[in-house]
Amino acid sequence: MIYDVAVVGAGACGLTTAIFLNSKKTILFDSKTGAAKLSITGNNRCNITNLTDFDSFFDNYKPNGQFLRNSLSSFSQSDLIKFLKSLKIKTKTVKNRVVLENSTSKELSDKILKTAVKKTLFFPNTPIVDMKQDNELFILKTKKTTYKSKFVVLACGGMSYPQTGSNGLCYKTAAKIGHTIIKPAPFEVPFCSENTKNLQGLSFSNVELTLKIDKKKIKTKGDIIFTHFGISGPAILKLSENDFKNAELIIKLINKDEDEIKQRLLNYKGKAKNLIKKFLSVRFVDSNIKTEKYAKELSKKDINQILDTIFRFSMDVKKCSFDRAFVTKGGVSLKEINPKTMESNIIKNLFFCGEIMDIQGSIGGFNLQAAFSTGFLTAKTINARINNNRH
């Protein structure tokens, strides 16, 4: 049997391709049960897209955002919202971010997967381990058998959260048939650090952060949360977009003037740490301000130590690995993919969509929109090609 299209990967983009393809002879493979990553997005409330205006939208995928112009035009944010509505999934907008209104990410992924499975021959738990082209047909190998197809879509995702099935195997497949792989790296990733176990669960809103990479200082403001492995939260994920191996993170933990706190310490009658507990959580103070001295007994050095702890809390950090990364940076070089069609410039009838490509967005719905838009454009191109071949 020769299939029209083989879609490798049943994540957001592969499922979109499968749903919008017209051919009834489509096979869909997934290493796991399908849609595993989609089912855990946005802390179960999936940030599906972002309504930032058309031009600044692409700035959220530095440096390669312009690659998405055609795909976003062919399947925009409103097309995505309409598509979800057709699946009875309602969305709402919170500060430009479009999130699910009543459904969970798991419900969303179940519906999308079910819709795609109805239209294809689906092989869950069947990774494609090798692929070659022979007389204009693709031969795809699983562990047990081979399949032939006229078109192939590599929709295998990146390497983040490898337990969801996207483990980088397809980079090898793409490289073997001639594509360049830009070195994958964790992106939108928490920072790992020693000694944060006692702070686990403590969160801070709108704090000032400075990331010191050698002599360079990068500043931002936002929400953070300490975890058992280090520190996470939107502000940390944003900082993780910078390239570095080891860095120092300095956090201004309270939104107050340093001189004011110093004066209050000098005039305070009780134990110094009790004053600080008025501004910071008891757990934080007990584990980080060790002195039991009364404020009036503090030496200059003690005062500076306390002020450093709350205004310049310092941690040695590095990016955590793919296991904790939300997105993968790098992947199949965009120079080798036609942005108007999503077809490979090297191998005819081979297509790419989603995170497998060297495109990565900020958090806030950008990665899913990229996956849905490129998945749709892939289907549109293949539909037109099959239609033309018939006439």
Ligand X SMILES: Cc1cc2nc3c(=O)[nH]c(=O)nc-3n(C[C@H](O)[C@H](O)[C@H](O)COP(=O)(O)OP(=O)(O)OC[C@H]3O[C@@H](n4cnc5c(N)ncnc54)[C@H](O)[C@@H]3O)c2cc1C
Residues forming the site for ligand X (CB under 6 A): 8-14, 29-32, 34, 36-38, 40-42, 46-47, 127-128, 155-157, 160-161, 164-166, 169-170, 326-327, 354-355, 365-368, 371
CB of 130 to ligand X, least distance (A): 9
Q: Would you say 204 or 366 has its CB closer to ligand X?
A: 366
Report the C-alpha gap between 227 and 233 in whole angstroms: 10
CB of 230 to ligand X, least distance (A): 16
Q: Would you say 233 or 285 has its CB closer to ligand X?
A: 233
Nearest to residue 359, comparing CAs of 5, 13, 16?
13
CB of 278 to ligand X, least distance (A): 36
Report the C-alpha gap between 216 and 200 in whole angstroms: 28
CB of 144 to ligand X, least distance (A): 13
Q: Would you say 79 or 248 has its CB closer to ligand X?
A: 79
Nearest to residue 216, comparing CAs of 237, 239, 196, 233?
239
CB of 8 to ligand X, least distance (A): 5
Report the C-alpha gap between 359 and 71 in whole angstroms: 13
Q: Would you say 32 or 380 has its CB closer to ligand X?
A: 32
**Amino acid present at 300:** K
Is residue 74 within 8 A of residue 373, CB to CB? The reply is: yes
DSSP SS3 for 323: helix
Exposure string (b/e) for 174-203, b if CB count within 10 Å is 16 or more? beebebebbebbbbbbbbbbeebeebeebe
Q: Would you say 280 or 365 has its CB closer to ligand X?
A: 365
Nearest to residue 198, comparing CAs of 285, 266, 116, 273?
285
Tokens of 332: 């199949």
Q: What is the dihedral of CA 104, 108, 111, 115, to 10 degrees?
A: 180
CB of 97 to ligand X, least distance (A): 9
Q: Would you say 127 or 330 has its CB closer to ligand X?
A: 127
Q: Would you say 34 or 65 has its CB closer to ligand X?
A: 34
CB of 78 to ligand X, least distance (A): 16
